[in-house]
Amino acid sequence: MKTLVKRAKEERELMRLNPCRVLEHPPDNGLLVPELVEVSRRVYWARESLLIGVSKLLSFIPVLRCRFCSEIHIGHVGHEIRTCTGPRSGFRSAMHDWKKGRLTDVIYFPKCFHLNDRVGKPRVVHNERFDVPRISAILELCIQAGVNLEQYPVRRRTKPVYCIEGRIVDFDPEMDESNANHDKGHSDDNLKIDSGFMTEVEDMKGDSIKDLIHPLVRLNPENGGSLKELSIGTMASWFEMISGARKIMEKYSVWTCGYCPEVQVGTKGHKLRMCKASRHQSRDGLHAWQEATIDDLVGPNYVWHARDPSGPPLCNNFKRYYGKAPAVVELCVQAGAPVPEQYRSMLRLDVVLPDIDEVDLVV
């Protein structure tokens, strides 16, 4: 705390001595980070490839979801582990009641407000909550990092902004409507975007969508394609999206509420009074913003790992021996993809399951 107070005093003294200064480093000065523009494009298309691949895999491997809580399971038969926390779970001995799941149960992209000008107007106030569109947070991160989408216009600057007595002042004249969506050096003119969870892309400059989607994801197992290769391509898209998003988050700020799962991409969090978590009355419904992680940006939705999908359901007595993994990873592994090295310890593949009569003998 003393270090933070000392740093704040030094910043105030520096601001008093130099009240007018130009912000030098992007993206704080309103300019793009050049080396992250191509990364943002790869993350965008990896997200599209991931959604296409998961939707194809769901035709062969079912996903089950509990009717009363957010628990999901990958497989034909739901597990018997008693972890339900939904309504009246005590009357069911915390057993889950399974129903068929969907794509949004496997992978979840939380939404945030779209900012037309991340530096000039970094915050959305409460009265603007119905006027500003909400899009996926990872899509907003790609837009702020350099992806230009016709449906979601954003202002691109050519000159850095100034900081005068703590206020951001912009001397760069606003571009007209025809040029507002494009940055001459880093424009994505080949993208034409429609609304929807999975974005439809139409070719405008000769680049086909087949050149941008992962080649293994384009395979169709119903027409003779390999289900294993499709799962490998889907998992590769997952890792490319996650690694690229982590790299962008090192420069572009992402915030999450410390009490609820609300996320906002930008220099500051929004000012909406919509938090309903613990002690929200003392904050007047405002969010308590803190730095977000990749799990806040992309909901991994961890599930129990089934070593034998065609075997008996997972038993509640053996839950201490079972591993967990993100639902996308578990889906791809059951489809034939090799187990990733970074998730091998989480899946607990080195743990031997005891027999029923040996459970009481295990220490």
Determine the average pLDDT of the residues in 319-335. 93
Whether the per-residue pLDDT at 178 is higher than 80: the answer is: no
Q: Are strands 162-164 and 167-169 parallel, antiparallel or unpaired?
A: antiparallel
Contact 344, 325 (CB under 8 A): no
Higher pLDDT, 303 or 222: 303
pLDDT at 190 over 60: no
Under 8 Å between Cβ of 191 and 208 = no
pTM for the whole thing?
Answer: 0.83
Residue with tokens 């005093």: 9
pLDDT at residue 203 in the model: 34
Residue 76 in this model has a pLDDT that exceeds 50:
yes
Between the CA atoms of 307, 312, 318 and 324, what dihedral angle is there, to the nearest 10 degrees? Answer: 40
In this prediction, residue 221 carries a pLDDT of 81
34 token code pair? 């050049």
Which of 57-71, 117-131, 173-187, 335-349 is least confident? Answer: 173-187
Q: Which pLDDT belongs to residue 329? A: 95
Report the C-alpha dihedral over residues 164, 170, 172, 174, rounded to 10 degrees.
Answer: -170
Sheet containing 63-66, strands listed edge to edge, beginning at the edge strand earlier in sequence: 72-74, 63-66, 98-100
- What pLDDT score was predicted for residue 359? 67
Cα 283 from chain centroid (whole Å): 27
Distance CA 34, CA 28 (A): 13
Residue 316 corresponds to which tokens in the numbers above? Answer: 């509640």
Confidence of residue 115 (pLDDT cuts 50, 70, 90): very high
- Lowest-pLDDT choice from 77-86, 216-225, 324-333: 216-225
When mean pLDDT is compared across 73-87, 147-161, 193-207, the lowest value belongs to: 193-207
- Whole-number percent of the chain with pLDDT over 90: 60
Q: What are phi and psi of 315, to 5 degrees?
A: -95, 145
Top-confidence residue, 143 or 164: 143
pLDDT digits (tens, 9 = 90+) for 21-50: 777 788 988 899 999 999 999 999 999 999
The label of the residue with tokens 């700020």 reads 253
Give CA–CA dist 359/145, Å, rounded.
53
- C-alpha angle 128-133-135 in degrees, rounded to nearest 5: 135
- Distance (Å) of CA 172 to CA 160, 181, 187: 8, 15, 19
Higher per-residue pLDDT: 51 or 299: 51
